[in-house]
Structure 1
Amino acid sequence: MKLYCTKDEVSINGSVLELQEIKSKIEAMKEGDLIQLQFDTTGNTQGFDILESTMIIRAGSGPSYTSYQKGIGITFTGGIESLKAFASLFNFEEESELGCHYHWDDACDSNYVASGTLPITVAVS
């Protein structure tokens, strides 16, 4: 599984099974929970600036906000309703084709996604 990053966007790429596992972890979160996802950083950056190793997902409050900090990785923080909506982006059918993807920033309104958040794409690879 890969986490591609630029200063302007993030792309989470994995097999259908890997993405469904992330979905299950996010759906199980309760307020105050934190999960840390690890990604493979070897190989080609596919036109992105870097392959990041870590994404931290925190269950907080309100619309989600995603940011990048060097040395920490990608941080996604949002209320439970935002997390449920975010988890739905990882719900790919078993027969989904390579390249099938969803855009988090386009998927929801300001009740779920905070203004100025780093856009996220979730894709089958």
Structure 2
Amino acid sequence: MFKAWLRNTEPVNLEPYVGDLKGIDGWLSRDGTLYQCNYVDHLIYAERLCKKFGYQLLNRFPYQMNSEYTLEQKGWAKISNGKVHYASTKPMSKKQLDFLFDYFINNGYSVNEYQELVRQQEGEVLA
């Protein structure tokens, strides 16, 4: 409990991540920018990113505002433990898919695994 509180009080770096992509978790914006965070801190970063970008929080359930849900609905992808979670009705942008190609290669995934992600988005990719 104390560790979770302590993490919540530590400064959060909301600068775009530039560096080695191996084992990195975070939030991927529509423009292909990664905001890196620890895999257990996605909610904390989602709250701060929503504030940074001026997003009004959306309801996942009645009367429950949710920053992760807000980012998802705005078309952001969540990268956690080497998995890409994408829950928007909007298709992934070309910039997101380009970033994810580099991410997959740097993390030892095969081109086939990347192509499967692209197939899921096929015909729906936006510029």
Q: Same fold (TM over 0.5)?
A: no
Higher RCO (C-alpha under 8 Å, 6+ residues apart): 1
Higher strand share: 1
Alignment TM-score, normalising by the size of structure 2: 0.25
Alignment TM-score, normalising by the size of structure 1: 0.25
Which has more radius of gyration? 2
Higher helix share: 2
